[in-house]
Structure formats: structure tokens, C-alpha cells
Amino acid sequence: MLENESVESREAEEFIGLADFVAEGGEQLSFSVGDKLLVHDKSSEVWWWAEFQGHFGYVPSSYLNQTPEDLEEDAWQDDEYFENYGTLRLHLEMLADKARTETYRQVILSNSATLRGRIILDVGCGTGVLSLFCATLSQPAAVYAVEASSMAEHTQQLVQQNGGEEIITVFQERVENLTLPAKVDVLLSEWMGNCLLFEFMLESVLLARDRWLKKGGMMWPSSACLTVVPCQAFSDYRKKVEFWDNTYGLNFSYLKSLAQKEFLSKPKFSHHLLPEDCLSSPADVITLDLLTIQVSDIERLRGEFRFTVEKSGMFHGFTAWFSAYFLSLEEHGQTIQLNTGPHSELTHWKQTLFMLDAPVSIEKGDVITGSLCLQRNPVWRRHLSIIFSWNINSTDASKIHTKCFPMWR
Ligand SMILES: N=C(N)NCC[C@H]1O[C@@H](n2cnc3c(N)ncnc32)[C@H](O)[C@@H]1O
């Protein structure tokens, strides 16, 4: 502490709450997502001394984010986002994902008769592969293929070279700013990101639905769910944390706390969860009905879980993935599912691993109860925080563990 300078008087920095935090004990300070706090002391890694509405107290640093000066134009990071999608790298990754692309192809093929004469909107069409499936596997009256990135210029060529130009119209535009010739019967889109929501392209899809989908129209996907399972992750924990116990015969365990903060404070995307590392049966914790969900609903989604451990081992954390469901256009047709979980064909999303700071030994029969909250980032609109709260063999509220994982800011 500098001579005769109180903590409160030092130049404070403004931070914004990424999620609701409820203080436990007098020393801590409660706040809600979006609240702006003044942080006076960041000397501790984990707990900062902050002020909010004239009250002072400790707040968890993982729940806070700096507010950028030039907030407006940066909130969606659109320049960077659409620049990324203007190159082939991400489209190659999506097209090379057979499970993903074949599922959409199967949906169109199995509904080809009913798609005859219908109007389809493909939101975020990329290379136009889904629109071309519609035009070549069925006889729709029209397909509106909307792509905001510069990829749309190439999509126009691909449509022509694959004989789709009679049916497909490519619009190089953000779907939010679009004017279409007519409302549509089917809104088709592949919008899913890490942990289902990352990128929040879903907001664009819902705005397009509200503006352009006919009453009684079909959303593809029709519904989606986020699935969670408690799991082991020996390999990750060994490589990132236990590694420091014996580094070429030297004891670097002093670095373990730094390793936890650096490697375990954010989710690990593209994690490949093996079925044998699942400690219980998975549970669908959050479910979205894409016909009825509102943009305001996706600010904060919450679900509860209760897992009965089916094998003894180490509880390293939780793994999450999503499934998307495609209702049939026919009355009693079959619903098609795209499951990105460990028991299905691996997709480019793989799964997402959320590691606890310290693994817990767990026994068959133990019960892990808790909740998962997807809290949209109040500043960076394509980002979110995932907050896990859990308890083992107890419902005593005082023993609930909580960890907030920013994805990614
Ligand atoms: N996670 C994903 N499936 N991302 C696919 C995103 C694809 O949709 C495009 N896209 C995303 N948002 C929009 C939007 N609001 N309007 C038009 N295209 C969009 C993006 O350029 C890329 O080609």
C-alpha cells in the first residue's frame, strides 16, 4: 500500500458485471450482470476490492470484464467476424464436417416432396451448400440465400456452376437489413456455435424468423438443447497442472496455481470427450424451441441438473455439447437429430470441457446436483459466460461450489 493513500482513493478502474453475483458474508459485494463497478484494488488474483452504489466489498475477478472505450462499433465485432467468414478456412471446416452437412442434406432429402413449390430462406448460407441441396434435391419455388460476408460473391458463382440460378437468389447482406420479395415457408440455417450460442448468430436467425417466416412456417433446426455430463479429464489435468510437480526433476509446483488460472479459467473448446470418461448419464439442461424463443430470452438461459454417479473416479469437471432437431414437414414424418455428443460421430464442434480448479474424488452412487447458466456478455454481444453451480451429496446451500467461465471475453 502506498504511503497514506487509502485503497478507495487510488485511481479506480471501471469494470462491468458479466453475471449476477450474490455475496456470501459481509466482506463481499453483490451485483448483477451489466452493473458497472469501480475496482480499487486488484492485488489478489481472484478477489478484487470494489465499489458499487457507494458500498465497498470483495468481488470475484472472473465475473468482471473491462468496459471498452469505443463500445458502440465494437459490440458485435462484425468487421472481424465477417472478415473471418470471407475466407475459406471456416467454410472448409464446416463442409468437411460430414455429420453436420449430411444431416442437413438428409433433412432436405427426406422432405423433398413437401418442399415442392415452397419458399426457403437460408440464413448465413456461406458457400450456399444448403441452398444448393434444396435446389438440386427438391423443387422449391424459390430459395433466398443470405450471406453477409464477401463469401457471397463466390456463392453466386457456385450457384451458377451447379445449375441453381433459376431457383436460388443470393443476397450479400446482413439478414437483419434484408428486404425479401416474399415471406418464406421454411427458415433454414446452420447457426450453432461453441456451447450452442457462441457468436450469438441465433439473434440474427430469430430476427429473420420474426420478419420473414410465414405464420405456421418451419424452423430448421426446429429445436436445440445443451447437454451436460460430469466427467474425468485425467489427460488434460496431467498435462496442464500436474506437469509442474516434476519438471525435469525440478519441483515447479509453485506454478500450479498460475496454471489453474491460465488453463482452467476458460472452457476448453474442441475437447474430445471419450464415453468412458463420462461419470454418469448426460442430461439435457437447456432446451430451445426455435419457433417460440424470443431474443430477450437468450440474454440468460438457465437449467438445473442432478447426476447420479455411475462409476467411481475423479470428477475433473463438466463437458457440454448440443443437439439440434429437425421436425418433418410431413404430419407423421420422422424428426432428424444432429447430436454433437461423445456417443455420436465427431463433428467440428467436438465438445466443450469446463474444468474445476481442483479435481474431486467421486464414488459410484454420489449425487451431483446444481445448475448451469448461460449469461450473454452485456458488452461483447457475441460472447457469453457459462456459470456452473454444483454440490456433491448435499443440498446445503452453504456448500454450493460456483465457477464462472468466460467464453471468451
Ligand atoms: N457458427 C456458425 N454456424 N456460423 C455460420 C456463420 C455463417 O453465417 C453468416 N452470418 C452470420 N450472421 C449473419 C447475418 N446476420 N446475416 C447474414 N449472414 C450471417 C456468416 O458470415 C457465416 O458464413
The pLDDT tens digits of the residues spanning 194-234 come to: 999 999 999 999 999 999 999 999 999 999 999 999 999 99
Ligand 1 center from residue 123 Cα (angstroms):
7
For residue 71, the model assigns a pLDDT of 58
User: Would you say 249 and 308 are in contact if contact means Cβ atoms under 8 Å apart?
Assistant: no
Find out whether the beta carbon of 85 lies less than 6 Å from any atom of ligand 1: yes
Q: What is the mean pLDDT of the chain?
A: 95
For residue 190, the model assigns a pLDDT of 98
55-75: average pLDDT: 82
For residue 99, the model assigns a pLDDT of 98
Closest ligand 1 atom, residue 82 Cα: 21
For residue 112, the model assigns a pLDDT of 98
Model pTM?
0.93
Complex ipTM, two decimals?
0.99
Q: Rounded CA gap, 150 and 145, in Å?
A: 13
Ligand 1 center from residue 301 Cα (angstroms):
22
Q: How confident is the model at residue 10 (pLDDT cuts 50, 70, 90)?
A: low
Closest ligand 1 atom, residue 151 Cα: 23
Q: Rounded CA gap, 331 and 175, in Å?
A: 30
User: Would you say 167 and 144 are in contact if contact means Cβ atoms under 8 Å apart?
Assistant: no
- Which domains does the chain carry? 4-70 (2.30.30.40), 78-221 (3.40.50.150), 224-407 (2.70.160.11)
Quick one: what percent of the chain has pLDDT higher than 70?
96
Q: Rounded CA gap, 6 and 321, in Å?
A: 47
Find out whether the beta carbon of 48 lies less than 6 Å from any atom of ligand 1: no
Quick one: what percent of the chain has pLDDT higher than 90?
91
Q: How confident is the model at residue 395 (pLDDT cuts 50, 70, 90)?
A: confident
Contacts 24+ apart (CB under 8 A), 25-31: 26/57, 27/57, 27/58, 28/57, 28/58, 28/59, 29/55, 29/56, 29/57, 29/58, 29/59, 31/59, 31/63
Find out whether the beta carbon of 204 lies less than 6 Å from any atom of ligand 1: yes
Residue 362 three-state SS: strand
* Confidence check: pLDDT of 6 > 70: no
Q: How confident is the model at residue 45 (pLDDT cuts 50, 70, 90)?
A: confident
Q: Rounded CA gap, 204 and 123, in Å?
A: 8
Residue corresponding to grid cell 451485483: 31
By annotation, the residues acting in catalysis are: 190, 199
Find out whether the beta carbon of 147 lies less than 6 Å from any atom of ligand 1: yes
Find out whether the beta carbon of 174 lies less than 6 Å from any atom of ligand 1: yes
Which tens digit of pLDDT belongs to each residue from 354-378? 999 999 999 999 999 999 999 999 9
Q: Rounded CA gap, 70 and 218, in Å?
A: 39
Q: How confident is the model at residue 1 (pLDDT cuts 50, 70, 90)?
A: very low
User: Would you say 30 and 5 are in contact if contact means Cβ atoms under 8 Å apart?
Assistant: no
Q: Rounded CA gap, 232 and 359, in Å?
A: 9
Ligand 1 center from residue 191 Cα (angstroms):
7
Which one, of 149, 203, 192, 195, lies nearest residue 172 by Cα? 149
* Confidence check: pLDDT of 3 > 60: no
User: Would you say 28 and 56 are in contact if contact means Cβ atoms under 8 Å apart?
Assistant: no
Which tens digit of pLDDT belongs to each residue from 11-43? 899 999 999 999 988 899 999 999 999 999 998
User: What does the CA dihedral 14, 18, 23, 27 come to, rounded to 10 degrees?
Assistant: -30
Ligand 1 center from residue 75 Cα (angstroms):
16
- Ligand 1 binding pocket mutation candidate from 84, 122, 149 (most atoms within 8 A of CB): 149
- Ligand 1 binding pocket mutation candidate from 123, 176, 177, 195 (most atoms within 8 A of CB): 123
